[in-house]
Structure 1
Amino acid sequence: MASSPVTSTVVSLLLVAFAAGASAATFTIKNNCGYTVWPAATPVGGGKQLNPGQTWTLDVPPGTKGGRIWGRTGCSFNGGRGHCATGDCAGALSCTLSGQPPLTLAEFTIGGGGANDYYDISVIDGYNLPMDFSCSNGLNLHCVQPRCPEAYLYPADNTKNHGCRGNSNYKVTFCP
């Protein structure tokens, strides 16, 4: 028995929706510092103020490549425009560009190859905040000093990228 065009279309749309959501990731960003941090995220997320103890949750779609999350410090914003002492992104609250050094970076690619996502910490552009970056089923990367051994330290340092099974969730913690 042949299926109707409407049934085929509905089934196809459900399969596409399921596949698209299959490798999406949720990032929970937490400020454990004793001061306000203004995390930023590109290419998704933008930016937000996090007072001590607050969290921010981002849903990152599959296929996101070259993602970055960093904390900005010493910020002052008025109407979405302002300036940060570290990690500033052209004076915007909601970043569309990467921040200015120094900045400790959590870098990621969601759905970057086969069934894996990839993530790392980088201090190539300097260090401004201690950070933990973890995958729900992978390693917890820990960076609490400018030359942290678990972070990329220079451009040709290619041994610090970690794979994580797709459909994982991530946590970035400032001042772990």
Structure 2
Amino acid sequence: MAEYRFGPRPENDDEASEAMERELFQEECERRRDICQPHIRLKALRKAHKLSQEEMAEVLHVSRRTLQDFERGKRAIPSDAVARLYGRFNCDLHALFVGQPYPISREDRASFVQVGLDAVFELMRWFPDMSAQDVRHYATLTAELTEPGEDPELGWLLEMVGRRRAEAEGLL
């Protein structure tokens, strides 16, 4: 429920509008802060990987007691510990902090699809006898290594596939 404040009336509508925007911005900041609970998801991550507190403490290079403080929210998780989590588990850091994966825009999703399709068509053109499983593997790899909106590195892809095939046939 909104809290009503009495005070001097703003001189004009612009001042009232700016005050309302500041208040809404502050409320949004507080809402985002409230959903940011990495301590809860740290514990869930540990349990998902079936690690004891001692084992997770070793991963983070902290004591078991410090890990317990992290998981209870009594102590902030330092950035070097977050980096170790990411390095070890390749976890979505956005999901770790706010509980949801990082939202991907429609444009970015379309870009990933375009990159994958470009890779598929190039592979089919250059290597018509390649299995569907290999085409899928290399197209997915190309999409994963290409930033949204970038052109895929198809030259790199073709060179990599060509080298692997030549090695498999004993030509290199």
- TM-score, normalization by structure 1: 0.25
Largest Rg, 1 or 2: 2
Name the structure with the higher strand share. Answer: 1
Higher relative contact order (CA 8 A, sep 6+): 1
- TM-score, normalization by structure 2: 0.26
